[in-house]
Amino acid sequence: MNGADMLCDVLLINGVDVCFANPGTSEMHFVAALDRKPQMRCVLGLSEGVVTGAADGYARMADKPAATLLHLGPGLANGLANLHNARRARTPMVNIVGDHASYHLQYDAPLTSDIEGLARPMSHWVGRAGGARDVRARTEEAFEAALMKRGVATMILPADAAWSEVQPEPLQPVTLPARPALSPEALKAAGAALRSGKTTVIILAGRALRAAALETAGRIAAATGAALFSQTSDRTERGAGRVAARPVPYNIDLAVAALKEFEVAICLGGRQPVGFFAYPHKPSTMLPPGCEVIELAGHEHDLGEALELLAEEAGIRADAPFVPNRFVQPEIAAPTGALNADSITIAVARSLPENAIICEESITSAGKMAVLAPGLNPHDHIPLTGGAIGEGIPLATGAAIACPDRKVIALQADGSGMYTLQGLWTQARENLDVVTIIFANRAYAILQGEMRNVGVNDFGRNARRMLDLDNPELDWCSLARGMGVEAGRASTIEQFTRLFDTALARKGPFLIEAII
Q: Which of 72-81, 296-305, 384-393, 441-450 is predicted with the least confidence, judged by mean pLDDT?
A: 441-450
Check if the beta carbon of residue 469 is closer than 8 Å to that of residue 445.
Answer: no
Residues 25-49: pLDDT tens digits?
999 999 999 999 999 999 999 999 9
285-296 average pLDDT score: 96
Cα separation, 493 vs 337, whole angstroms: 7
The pLDDT assigned to 450 comes to 78
453: Cα within 13 Å, side-chain hemisphere: 19
411-430 average pLDDT score: 97
With bands split at pLDDT 50, 70 and 90, how would you rate the model's confidence at 151? very high
Specify burial of residue 513 (Cβ count, 10 A radius: 0-12, 13-18, 19+). buried
pLDDT at 400 over 90: yes
The pLDDT assigned to 252 comes to 93
The pLDDT assigned to 155 comes to 98
Check if the beta carbon of residue 341 is closer than 8 Å to that of residue 516.
Answer: yes
The pLDDT assigned to 440 comes to 94
193-219 average pLDDT score: 97
Cα separation, 105 vs 135, whole angstroms: 19
Mean pLDDT of the chain: 96
374-385 average pLDDT score: 97
Q: How far is CA 388 from the centre of its chain?
A: 11
Largest separation between any pair of C-alpha atoms in the chain: 69
Cα separation, 402 vs 408, whole angstroms: 11
Q: Counting runs of H as helices and runs of E as strands, what totals does the chain give?
A: 21, 18
Residues 462-498: pLDDT tens digits?
887 887 878 888 999 999 999 999 999 999 999 999 9
DSSP-assigned states of every residue in 335-360: P-SS-SHHHHHHHHHHHPPTT-EEEE
- Model's pTM, two decimal places? 0.95
Cα separation, 439 vs 434, whole angstroms: 16
The pLDDT assigned to 309 comes to 98
The pLDDT assigned to 453 comes to 73
The pLDDT assigned to 303 comes to 97
99-115 average pLDDT score: 96
Geometric angle at alpha carbon 92, from 91 and 98, rounded to 5°: 115
- Structure-model confidence comparison of residues 441 and 373, the more confident one: 373
Cα separation, 138 vs 175, whole angstroms: 15
- Structure-model confidence comparison of residues 166 and 443, the more confident one: 166
Check if the beta carbon of residue 441 is closer than 8 Å to that of residue 468.
Answer: no
pLDDT at 388 over 90: yes
pLDDT at 117 over 90: yes
Q: How far apart are the first and last CA of the chain?
A: 57
Cα separation, 77 vs 88, whole angstroms: 17
Cα separation, 244 vs 234, whole angstroms: 16
The pLDDT assigned to 161 comes to 97
65-71 average pLDDT score: 98
Residues 328-349: pLDDT tens digits?
999 999 999 999 999 999 999 9
pLDDT exceeding 70 applies to what percent of the chain? 100
